[in-house]
């Protein structure tokens, strides 16, 4: 494996560790109707998925972010469902790409970065 592949695998691992936390922040902000927290979390999630050119996931996150900026949460639940669906698709694709031959459930090291350091 060359250096580029190692770097990409590490980026995938970081994304797979961090994105579920961002999704939880989005859900909590939406539940609390906290538009500023929703804006921040949706913006961060959009940036993360954009790293992997996941345009559909980024567009769904942009819709959430826009709703939060306008302080109008109508349609936000539907946008969240789309964000979650797109994340699921992206996660599966990244797991297959970065960890070929491994079962999906074992494709990421929970609580560890690719370098082996604890978080």
The domains located in the chain, with CATH, are 8-99 (1.20.120.160)
Spell out, as residue ranges, where the chain has pLDDT lower than 70: 1, 103-119
pLDDT at position 107 is: 39
pLDDT at position 23 is: 96
CA distances from 32 to 18, 25, 29, 69 (A): 21, 10, 5, 15
pLDDT at position 97 is: 82
65: nearest Cα among 85, 38, 34, 30: 38
82: nearest Cα among 57, 109, 107, 103: 57
**Beta-bridge partners for 118:** 112
pLDDT at position 30 is: 95
């Amino acid at each position: 494996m060359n250096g580029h592949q190692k770097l990409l695998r590490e980026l995938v691992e970081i994304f797979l560790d961090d994105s579920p936390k961002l999704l939880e922040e989005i859900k909590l902000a939406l539940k609390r109707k906290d538009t500023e927290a929703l804006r921040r979390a949706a913006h961060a999630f959009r940036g993360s998925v954009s790293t992997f050119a996941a345009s559909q996931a980024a567009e769904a996150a942009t819709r959430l972010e826009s709703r939060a900026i306008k302080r109008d949460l109508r349609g936000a639940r539907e946008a969240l469902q789309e964000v979650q669906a797109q994340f699921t698709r992206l996660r599966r694709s990244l797991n297959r790409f970065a960890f070929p031959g491994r079962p999906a459930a074992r494709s990421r090291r929970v609580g560890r970065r690719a370098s082996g350091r604890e978080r």
